[in-house]
C-alpha cells in the first residue's frame, strides 16, 4: 500500500510486526493528518484525492518530521566545505554534471559565508554519487519517480553524503528532473537544513522544476545564515580586517603565502585569507580563523600535494597538515622535513607535481624535498638565482600551475617556465584577486 510506505518513510509511521496497518487505525490517521498539515492540506486524516496526489509527487527522500538518520550534528563547524564526485549518471556528460553540481553549491555560497572546494579524493566532507535501488546506506531508492535523491546531515562517516537515484532521467531543463534544482535542495540538507512547509522554499520536499533564477526564497537565505551565524562576517569587529578588505586592489598588495587546495586558490596575508575558485569570479574572504578555526596565526608559506589531497601550512618553525578542510592534529616542527635546527622560518614553498618535489625558499637559497621518499634531496640548499635564472629577489609566496611556477615577489608575480628555466612574464599580485 503506497500511502502506508509513504508515511513510514517520511512521517515515522511505526511498522507493525505483521506488516499490516489498518488505514482506519488511530496511528495511521494521525500520521495522515501530520502529512496533510505539513503540506497545507485540509487535515482530515482521510486519504482524499488531493492527499494522494501529493503522496505520488516526485520528492526528496529525507523525512519531513525528523533529522535524517546518522546526522550527527546540525551544521559543519567550519565554513570551507569540501566535496567530491564518485559515480556519475549515464544521462549527462561528466563536464555537465561537474558544472551543475558546482553551480548548485554556488547557490548556497552566494547566500552565506560558506565556500565549497572540490576535491578528487574520498576524504571530502560531502561525497556525491549517482546510484540505484539498494546502494549500501539502508535507504534504497525506488526506481523512476518517487524518491529522487537524499542527503545526510553534517557529521562524520556518511554525514553530508548526497545520493541521486540514477533510475531517474537527469537533465538540464524542464523535462526529466533538473539536476541543478535537485542538487541545490539536497545540498541544503548536507549543510544541515530541514524540509520547509513553504512551497516557495527550495527546501520544500516535493520537486518543482520552475523556480526563480536564484532558487532560494528569503526563508532559505535566513535559515542558512542562522545556522552558520557563528561564521557570518566576523571581520566586522577589529580594525585589521575592514582595512584589508578595502586594500585588496591596492597596487602594492603582497601575499605571505599562496597555494591551491583542491580546485581553489588560497591567498594568505597577515591573519587574513582570500579564497578564489579557479573557474569562478566570486572570492570569499575573512580572517583565517573564520575558515580554519585552529589557525590563530599568520601563515608564512603553504603548499598542496594533490596525490595526498593534503595541504601544508607553515608558520615560523611549525606547520599544520590540512586534509579535507580540517587542520589535522597539532602543529609539527619543520625538522619533520629534514631541516637543520637553524632553519626557523620559510619564506615560500611550492610542490611541483611533475617531479614529486617540494621546493622551500629561505632568503637567497632553496631546498628540494622528495615527497615520494620523504627525505631532503642531496646537495641542498642551493642559490635561488642559480636554480631559477631571472629570479633575483626574496620570494614571498609561490604556486605551481600547469607547468609554470608563479613567484610572488613583493607586489609583482614572475611567471616562470620550470621546464625551460626562464621568466616568461610579469604581472601584478592584485590581478590574482580580479583587480
Concerning whether 200 is annotated as a catalytic residue, the answer is no
In whole angstroms, what is the distance from residue 113 CA to residue 3 CA? 40
In whole angstroms, what is the distance from residue 161 CA to residue 181 CA? 17
pLDDT mean over 231-255: 62
135 is known to lie in a ligand binding site: yes
Q: Residue 416: its pLDDT value, please?
A: 93
233 is known to lie in a ligand binding site: no
Of 186, 200, 279, 285, the catalytic one is 186
pLDDT digits (tens, 9 = 90+) for 44-97: 999 999 999 999 999 999 998 865 444 344 889 888 899 999 999 999 999 999
Confidence of residue 254 (pLDDT cuts 50, 70, 90): very high
Judge whether residue 283 has pLDDT over 70.
Answer: yes
pLDDT > 70: percent of the chain: 90
> Do 80-231 and 235-433 show the same overall fold?
no
Q: Where are the domains of the chain?
A: 2-56, 80-231, 235-433
Judge whether residue 397 has pLDDT over 50.
Answer: yes
The verdict on domain 80-231 having CATH code 3.40.390.10 is: yes
122 is known to lie in a ligand binding site: no
Helix axes 218-227, 94-111, angle to 10 degrees: 80
pLDDT mean over 105-128: 89
390 is known to lie in a ligand binding site: no
Judge whether residue 351 has pLDDT over 90.
Answer: yes
347 is known to lie in a ligand binding site: no
91 is known to lie in a ligand binding site: yes
Pick the more confident residue, 16 or 285. Answer: 285
Q: Residue 305: its pLDDT value, please?
A: 93
Q: How many CB atoms lie within 10 A of CB 280?
A: 13
98 is known to lie in a ligand binding site: no
What global pTM score does this model have? 0.74
Q: Which CATH architecture has domain 2-56?
A: Orthogonal Bundle (1.10)
Q: Pick one of 3.50.50.60, 2.110.10.10, 3.30.470.30, 1.10.10.10 as the CATH number of 235-433.
A: 2.110.10.10
Query: What would the grid cell of residue 178 be?
Result: 533538473
In whole angstroms, what is the distance from residue 275 CA to residue 266 CA? 5
pLDDT digits (tens, 9 = 90+) for 182-197: 999 999 999 999 999 9
pLDDT digits (tens, 9 = 90+) for 150-194: 999 998 888 899 999 999 999 998 889 999 999 999 999 999 999
Rounded to a whole number of angstroms, the CA Rg of the chain reads 26
Amino acid at each position: 500500500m503506497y500511502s502506508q510506505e509513504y508515511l513510514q518513510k517520511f512521517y515515522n509511521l511505526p511498522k507493525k510486526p505483521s506488516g499490516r496497518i489498518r488505514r482506519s487505525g488511530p496511528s495511521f490517521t494521525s500520521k495522515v493528518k501530520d502529512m496533510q498539515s505539513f503540506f497545507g492540506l485540509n487535515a482530515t486524516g482521510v486519504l482524499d484525492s488531493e492527499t494522494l496526489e501529493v503522496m505520488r509527487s516526485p520528492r526528496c527522500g529525507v523525512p519531513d518530521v525528523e533529522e535524517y538518520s546518522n546526522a550527527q550534528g546540525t551544521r559543519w563547524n567550519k565554513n570551507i566545505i569540501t566535496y567530491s564526485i564518485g559515480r556519475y549518471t549515464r544521462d549527462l556528460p561528466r563536464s555537465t554534471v561537474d558544472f551543475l553540481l558546482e553551480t548548485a553549491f554556488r547557490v548556497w555560497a552566494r547566500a552565506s559565508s560558506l565556500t565549497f572546494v572540490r576535491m578528487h579524493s574520498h576524504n571530502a566532507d560531502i561525497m556525491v554519487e549517482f546510484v540505484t535501488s539498494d546502494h549500501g546506506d539502508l535507504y534504497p531508492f525506488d526506481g523512476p519517480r518517487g524518491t529522487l535523491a537524499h542527503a545526510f546531515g553534517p557529521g562524520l562517516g556518511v554525514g553530508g553524503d548526497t545520493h541521486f537515484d540514477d533510475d531517474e532521467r537527469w537533465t538540464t531543463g524542464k523535462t526529466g528532473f533538473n539536476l541543478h534544482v535537485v542538487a541545490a535542495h539536497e545540498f541544503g540538507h548536507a549543510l544541515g537544513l530541514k524540509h520547509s512547509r513553504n512551497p516557495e522554499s527550495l527546501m520544500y520536499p516535493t520537486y518543482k522544476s520552475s523556480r526563480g533564477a536564484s532558487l532560494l526564497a528569503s526563508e532559505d537565505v535566513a535559515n542558512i545564515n542562522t545556522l552558520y551565524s557563528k561564521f557570518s562576517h566576523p571581520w566586522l569587529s577589529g580594525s585589521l580586517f575592514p582595512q584589508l578588505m578595502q586594500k585588496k586592489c591596492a597596487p602594492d598588495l603582497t601575499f605571505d603565502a599562496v597555494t591551491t587546495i583542491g580546485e581553489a586558490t588560497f591567498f594568505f596575508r597577515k591573519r587574513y585569507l582570500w579564497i578564489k575558485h579557479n573557474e569562478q569570479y566570486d572570492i570569499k574572504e575573512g580572517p583565517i580563523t573564520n575558515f580554519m578555526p585552529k589557525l590563530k596565526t599568520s601563515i608564512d608559506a603553504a603548499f598542496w600535494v594533490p596525490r595526498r589531497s593534503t595541504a601544508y601550512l607553515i608558520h615560523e618553525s611549525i606547520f599544520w597538515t590540512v586534509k579535507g578542510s580540517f587542520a589535522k592534529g597539532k602543529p609539527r616542527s619543520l625538522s619533520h622535513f629534514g631541516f637543520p635546527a637553524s632553519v626557523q622560518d620559510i619564506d615560500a614553498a611550492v610542490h611541483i607535481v611533475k617531479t614529486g618535489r617540494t621546493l622551500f625558499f629561505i632568503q637567497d637559497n632553496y631546498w628540494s624535498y622528495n615527497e615520494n621518499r620523504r627525505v631532503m634531496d642531496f646537495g641542498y640548499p642551493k642559490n635561488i638565482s642559480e636554480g631559477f635564472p631571472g629570479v633575483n629577489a626574496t620570494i614571498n609566496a609561490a604556486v605551481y600551475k600547469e607547468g609554470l611556477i608563479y613567484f610572488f615577489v613583493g607586489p609583482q608575480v614572475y611567471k616562470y617556465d620550470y621546464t625551460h628555466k626562464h621568466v616568461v612574464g610579469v604581472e601584478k599580485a592584485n590581478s590574482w584577486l580580479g583587480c
